[in-house]
Amino acid sequence: MRSAALYWLGEPCARAKAQGVQALMESWKQGKVGLNPHDALFPSASIPGRPERPELVSPLSVKRRSMRTEEGRATLIHALAHIEFNAINLALDAVWRFPEMPNDYYADWLKVAAEEALHFSLLESHLRVLGHAYGAFPAHNSLWDMAEKTGHDALARMALVPRTMEARGLDATPAVRAKLAQAGDTAAAEILDIILRDEIGHVAIGNRWYAWLCAQRNLDAVATYRTLARQYKAPTLRRPFNMEARRAAGFSEEELIALEESADTPIES
Based on the structure, what is the number of domains in the chain? 1
Q: Which amino acid is at 155?
A: L
Q: Which amino acid is at 179?
A: K
Dihedral sign, Cα of residue 181, residue 186, residue 192, residue 197: positive
- Would you call 139 helix, strand, or coil by DSSP? strand
Q: Is residue 167 situated within a structural domain?
A: yes
Q: Is residue 41 situated within a structural domain?
A: no
- Of 194, 186, 36, the C-alpha closest to 106 is 36
Q: Is residue 70 situated within a structural domain?
A: yes
140: confidence class by pLDDT, cuts 50, 70, 90:
confident
- Of 115, 117, 94, 116, the C-alpha closest to 106 is 94
pLDDT in tens, 19-58: 999 999 999 999 999 999 999 999 988 899 999 999 988 7
Q: Is residue 38 situated within a structural domain?
A: no
68: confidence class by pLDDT, cuts 50, 70, 90:
confident
Q: Can you tell me the distance from the alpha carbon of 53 to that of 50, in angstroms, rounded to the nearest whole number?
A: 8
Q: Stretch 81-104: mean pLDDT, rounded? A: 97
Q: Can you tell me the distance from the alpha carbon of 68 to that of 27, in angstroms, rounded to the nearest whole number?
A: 43
Q: Can you tell me the distance from the alpha carbon of 52 to that of 32, in angstroms, rounded to the nearest whole number?
A: 33
Q: What CATH code is carried by the domain that includes residue 78?
A: 1.20.1260
* Spatial contact of 111 and 25, defined as CB atoms under 8 Å apart: yes
Q: Can you tell me the distance from the alpha carbon of 17 to that of 15, in angstroms, rounded to the nearest whole number?
A: 5
Range of the domain at 235: 2-33+54-262
* Spatial contact of 263 and 238, defined as CB atoms under 8 Å apart: yes
Q: Is residue 235 situated within a structural domain?
A: yes
Q: Is residue 160 situated within a structural domain?
A: yes
- Would you call 204 helix, strand, or coil by DSSP? helix
Q: Is residue 17 situated within a structural domain?
A: yes
- Name the E strands within 160-266: none
Q: Is residue 269 situated within a structural domain?
A: no
pTM of the model: 0.94
